[in-house]
Structure 1
Amino acid sequence: MGQDQPSRANWPIFRSLARFRPSDLPGDLIAGLTLAAIAIPEQMATARLGGFSPQIGFFAFLAGSIGFAMFGANRFLSCGADSTITPIFAGGLALMATAGTHDYQALAMGLALLVGAIMIAGSLFRLGWIANLLSTPVTVGFLAGISVHILVSQLSGVLGLAAPDGPTLYKLVVLAEHIGQTNFHTLAIGLGVLALVAGSERISARIPGALIGLVVATVAVIAGQLESKGVRVVGAVPGTLPTPSFPEIAPEKWIKLLSLAFLIAVVVMVQTAATTRSFLSDPDKPADVDRDFLGVGAGSLLAGLFGAFPVNASPPRTGIVSETGGQTQLAGLVAAAIVLALLAFGATLLQHVPDAALGGVLLFVALRIIRVGQIVAIFRQSFYEFLLVVATAAAIIVLPIEQGVALGIALSLLHGVWTTTRGRLVEFVHVPGTTIWWPAGPNVTGERKPGIAVLGMQAPLSFLNAEGFHSDVLKVIGTATPKPHLVVIEASGLIEIDFTAAQELRGLFRECREQGVTVAVARLESARAHAAFERFKLYEVLPNDRIFRSVDEAVRALGGQTSI
């Protein structure tokens, strides 16, 4: 029995079910029922957000749930239509086809296939590190911008006004101009559902406030005959089941979809990694992010074949599964079975659901994804990173959304490069009574030794900062009184040295020798930095006997010498 468990845990498919025990069944059933109650209104609303009929959202949920259960690793993760990525790909698709048309749906299917293929490739090549491309400030700004898009897109439905076309800010201006034409029945439904969902969430996340809100709103529409008073409803929902098909798309449009697919895939990778790390299958083991990429990718592939759009991991729905006693992906499959039964036998129940109720659900989703607490914390603790939040959010709101997201990713990468390489020269001082040399600072008690300069940089040495390092060292040599006869480079922070940096070091060593200054390197601890010294032949200009394990060792050995 002890040998059976590891082999079962490595099943090629349905891996999370390897842990299933009969005693898990009640918890999985309850979690599945709760998940379905949460997912049904959410998937309908998200489909409408993307310009699709409600049953397409159900197709996406079925595909995501089945694909992830088959190939994912996390026991709790719920995969399906997601309001984070829907505005992004809807904005991109709208540039190629009119929402609601056959071409639009075909492009969405093709996009789902491409995103699924990229996710699967990311899993096979173990690209889980891509999930770290978005820094926290950029992620917070990204979510704030997406939230504004959702809010503005749903205001027309909640107010009972015609939905304007154009950029987000233009839509907001148009809606403000027509605010006097608001249908108060519609407004009451939208705000009522929003209040009911928010109140239910506040009491307990297990309460299906969105489903309750949709039921109450639908009863109100029927009882009050509100359709005759201008309240728009979902209308007839075809009771069709998903059938596999491949989209007919011209070759040039596949190429246009590719850049959008990469953009969506990066966002999906980030959210999937965050979700699976937040709800660990085993608290004693790290998340298998790469395997979960495979599961979400399989979900998107199935979604493309089922006639739907790309899917994503959902942190709130995953939390519901975890909190309501779910133990395996059986909970997701139970929820998928309930949605499938609704499609097959109960689709007519949805025809009187008011659009404003779905808008109320999405208003709640939009308000929930704005991380106000984190924005305030970033503002208080790092103003420059707060500006990064603002810039990312502004780009997503002002620019076409897919361009704004791309700019947000670029800002995150630039921010990462800047923080990694912005290190400047650091002077080290000797701590009296010890062999320790420590970076100088206002709270550090240390002493400088005449004729000796200990310098370092706590960042990788690369083409981005190598020239500055070179000139700063020469500046210290030229301005110090008395002039140093020994310069020790404290290299513990130099974890990497690239070709440009190596050339700058060669020049620095040569110029120091010409000025009669001895150079040593201490604490070159990084294996990559050692390899760079070998690869770029730096030992030809700085002999091995000038490499020391500590600054103190270098000072004791060379403190009295006067040349390299």
Structure 2
Amino acid sequence: MSPPGWQEYVPGVGLARSYERAWLPKDIVAGLVLSALLVPQGMAYAELAGLPAVTGLYTSILCLLGYAVFGPSRVLVLGPDSSLGPMIAATIAPLLLANGDPARAVALASMLAVMVGVVMTVAGLARFGFVADLLSKPTQIGYMNGLALTIVIGQLAKLFGFSVDADGLVAEARAFFSGLADGEANATAAVLGVCSLAGILLLNRFMPKLPSVLIVVVLAAITVSAFDLKSHDVDTVGVLPQGFPPFTVPAVSWGDLPPLFVGALAIAVVALADTMSTASAFAARRGDRVRGNQEMVGIGAANIAAGFFQGFPVSTSGSRTAVAEQAGSRSQVTGIVGAAMITVVLVFATSLMQYVPQPTLGAIVIAAALSLADIAGTRRLWHQRRTEFWLSIIALLGVAFLGVLPGILVAVGLSILNVFRRTWWPHTAELGRVEGIAGLHDTESYPGAELLRGLVVYRFDAPLIFANARMFSDKVRETATDDPSLQWIIVAAEPITDVDTTASDMLQELDAWLNARGVSLVFAEMKDPVRKKIERYELTRTINPAHFHPTLDAAVAEYVRQTGASWRSPQPEADDEGSRR
């Protein structure tokens, strides 16, 4: 049962009241384990977004606290995310000055987080959780594959210890290989970066329960310190600013708001789709239900909290959620413990980060990007449905060659067009009787199905609307023209979930055209809401009310009663047209 009144929108209050003392040790342990992952990932994803590494820690603290109060799930973990990093960078980069002032970048990213939070919160309160459905699975797979490719290419230079001045997949790839050819790579940094990447991937593959990122970061930092790799020009994170982030209202100009709002909308759609898929997966394992609209409020609160403390937009992390669950997490107290530990690092141990090498942060990002790619899913689409496979590829190419923000618009547009395509050109079928199987069935699937002379049973698998009304009309007219002996066309109307005014006018004209040729247009199994629309459109003045039957069997039986026709098998193709009839 949902809590009454305002408490429904503040699940953290209910958690505090129902919290069990036995959960506390497990939540503390899980929070400690989680913080070991949050620190290096937070810094790496901040730099992926084009921001100072410390902002990733600020973001992690505040989003965990915000979601603990307003988030409905007891297990989800929010934080900086590899899928959002390129979107954040793509939104704020065009607004930066020529020198790329870090303070202005932080202000823009913080305002972006606030805007994402407001969009998500308002949408959640308005119960717009269905927006997550704007990204279909095939386009989501393609988008994530394209994003993974973009991230990997963009991080290769950092992995090899140098930087490139390029924007876009092709330009960055060309600049990286040109840099290698010109000897810009730092051999020491490259070895460290490649070994870090290999270590993360190998540990994830063979010892998945170990905190691979933490182990690699610690070993890399020890290596930098022990062998004085700074003297070999290996870049490190350096000493972080000390102290808890202050409350800050992001200072941006009015002209910055429109492009930030566009980016916020795109980020909100991706964050929501990611959160809903992750929440559904973990809720199913725990026997919980997903409260989609409250999830939007929770994510919104987390983003607003991060935005007012020099943070940037966040989303749910499947990998961090899995780590928390495996460590025994029982509630959002895990996130609070994780936030407290990050705060301890910022207040007392910022100097520990001075030995963390940049190539290792690049390796963390690349490893995360590789986990975004779904090659198996793409292969499955190829074998199961080629149309959706190509939609996935187009979404991938949109991200790779148009950019991250245009890519998400391409992905959403493709999802919507795919729905429209299925309505525009729906599957249709002529039905017949198959011996030994109840009901009527598609004659393409059962070529030997029996038919009744002078009758066609036609099924149209979509709502009848303006987009497909002409197709329906043309198909029925073609059927009537091809068979001069035709007396009835029964429309199996159960799949027709709607009839709009354009389709209503079409049906009126079609019925008159058929009547002039001695053919009756009959409907069977029409849903009551659709039948009421038919009556409201006054179509029953043209279409005989007796031509609406509750079932296909009733309609066919009435035709047999009136004509005395009997079921017969289709004639061989070699027969001439006259003998077939």
TM-score higher than 0.5 = yes
Aligned residue among 508, 511, 532 for 2:510: 508
- Relative to structure 1, the CA distance from residue 62 to residue 433 in structure 2 (aligned partners, 3 Å threshold; closer, same or farther) is closer
Is 1:468 aligned to 2:471, yes or no?
Answer: yes
Task: Give the superposition deviation at 1:138.
Answer: 0.7
Q: Give the aligned residue type for 1:410.
A: G
- TM-score normalised according to structure 1 size: 0.94
- Report the 3-state secondary structure (helix = DSSP H, G, I; strand = E; otherwise coil) of the residue aligned with 1:95: helix
- Report the 3-state secondary structure (helix = DSSP H, G, I; strand = E; otherwise coil) of the residue aligned with 2:452: coil
Do 1:105 and 1:308's aligned partners in 2 also have CA atoms closer than 8 Å? yes
Task: Give the superposition deviation at 1:121.
Answer: 1.5
Do 2:423 and 2:467's aligned partners in 1 also have CA atoms closer than 8 Å? no
Range that drifts further, 201-210 or 396-405: 201-210
Task: Give the superposition deviation at 1:559.
Answer: 4.5
Task: Give the superposition deviation at 1:164.
Answer: 2.2
Is 1:221 aligned to 2:224, yes or no?
Answer: yes
Do 2:423 and 2:468's aligned partners in 1 also have CA atoms closer than 8 Å? no
What pairs with 1:232-243 in structure 2 (closer than 5 Å)? 232-243=235-246
Task: Give the superposition deviation at 1:4.
Answer: 12
Equivalent residue number for residue 12 of structure 1 = 10
Equivalent residue number for residue 109 of structure 1 = 110
- The C-alpha deviation readout for 1:254-298, integer Å capped at 9, x for no partner, is 122111111111111100101110111884443112111111110
- The C-alpha deviation readout for 1:394-427, integer Å capped at 9, x for no partner, is 1111113211221121112111221344214311
Task: Give the superposition deviation at 1:183.
Answer: 1.3
Q: Give the aligned residue type for 2:238.
A: G
Task: Give the superposition deviation at 1:111.
Answer: 1.1
Range that drifts further, 218-227 or 12-21: 12-21
- Report the 3-state secondary structure (helix = DSSP H, G, I; strand = E; otherwise coil) of the residue aligned with 1:436: strand
- Report the 3-state secondary structure (helix = DSSP H, G, I; strand = E; otherwise coil) of the residue aligned with 2:267: helix
- Report the 3-state secondary structure (helix = DSSP H, G, I; strand = E; otherwise coil) of the residue aligned with 1:111: helix
Do 1:60 and 1:308's aligned partners in 2 also have CA atoms closer than 8 Å? yes
- Relative to structure 1, the CA distance from residue 281 to residue 244 in structure 2 (aligned partners, 3 Å threshold; closer, same or farther) is farther
What pairs with 1:432-447 in structure 2 (closer than 5 Å)? 432=435, 436-443=439-446, 445-447=448-450
- Report the 3-state secondary structure (helix = DSSP H, G, I; strand = E; otherwise coil) of the residue aligned with 2:283: coil
Equivalent residue number for residue 79 of structure 1 = 78
- Report the 3-state secondary structure (helix = DSSP H, G, I; strand = E; otherwise coil) of the residue aligned with 1:247: coil
- Relative to structure 1, the CA distance from residue 434 to residue 102 in structure 2 (aligned partners, 3 Å threshold; closer, same or farther) is closer
- Relative to structure 1, the CA distance from residue 546 to residue 403 in structure 2 (aligned partners, 3 Å threshold; closer, same or farther) is same
- Report the 3-state secondary structure (helix = DSSP H, G, I; strand = E; otherwise coil) of the residue aligned with 1:351: helix
Equivalent residue number for residue 29 of structure 2 = 30
Is 1:185 aligned to 2:184, yes or no?
Answer: no
RMSD: 2.2
Gap runs ≥5 in structure 1: none
Aligned residue among 437, 448, 453 for 1:450: 453
Do 1:198 and 1:364's aligned partners in 2 also have CA atoms closer than 8 Å? yes
- Relative to structure 1, the CA distance from residue 100 to residue 311 in structure 2 (aligned partners, 3 Å threshold; closer, same or farther) is farther
Q: Give the aligned residue type for 2:503.
A: A
Equivalent residue number for residue 308 of structure 2 = 305
Equivalent residue number for residue 523 of structure 1 = 525
- Relative to structure 1, the CA distance from residue 194 to residue 469 in structure 2 (aligned partners, 3 Å threshold; closer, same or farther) is same
- Report the 3-state secondary structure (helix = DSSP H, G, I; strand = E; otherwise coil) of the residue aligned with 2:495: coil
Range that drifts further, 539-548 or 405-414: 539-548
- TM-score normalised according to structure 2 size: 0.91
Q: Give the aligned residue type for 2:439.
A: I
Q: Residues of 2 paired with 1:4 and 1:291: CA distance?
A: 11
Q: Residues of 1 paired with 2:39 and 2:340: CA distance?
A: 12
Gap runs ≥5 in structure 2: 564-581
Runs of 4+ with >3 A deviation: 3-11, 15-19, 203-206, 281-285, 431-435, 442-445, 558-562
- Report the 3-state secondary structure (helix = DSSP H, G, I; strand = E; otherwise coil) of the residue aligned with 1:341: helix
Equivalent residue number for residue 551 of structure 1 = 552
Q: Residues of 2 paired with 1:70 and 1:358: CA distance?
A: 31
Q: Residues of 1 paired with 2:186 and 2:460: CA distance?
A: 64
Q: Give the aligned residue type for 2:173.
A: L
Q: Residues of 2 paired with 1:542 and 1:302: CA distance?
A: 61
- Relative to structure 1, the CA distance from residue 231 to residue 434 in structure 2 (aligned partners, 3 Å threshold; closer, same or farther) is closer
Task: Give the superposition deviation at 1:342.
Answer: 0.7
Equivalent residue number for residue 153 of structure 2 = 152
Do 2:52 and 2:102's aligned partners in 1 also have CA atoms closer than 8 Å? no
Q: Residues of 2 paired with 1:557 and 1:381: CA distance?
A: 41
Q: Residues of 2 paired with 1:33 and 1:8: CA distance?
A: 32
Range that drifts further, 80-89 or 233-242: 233-242
Equivalent residue number for residue 143 of structure 1 = 144
Q: Give the aligned residue type for 1:149.
A: T
Percent of aligned positions that are identical: 27
Task: Give the superposition deviation at 1:42.
Answer: 0.6
Equivalent residue number for residue 430 of structure 2 = 427
Aligned residue among 278, 285, 290 for 1:275: 278
- Report the 3-state secondary structure (helix = DSSP H, G, I; strand = E; otherwise coil) of the residue aligned with 1:454: strand
Equivalent residue number for residue 296 of structure 1 = 299
Q: Residues of 1 paired with 2:146 and 2:228: CA distance?
A: 37
Q: Residues of 1 paired with 2:535 and 2:217: CA distance?
A: 68
Count of matched residue pairs: 558
Equivalent residue number for residue 87 of structure 2 = 88
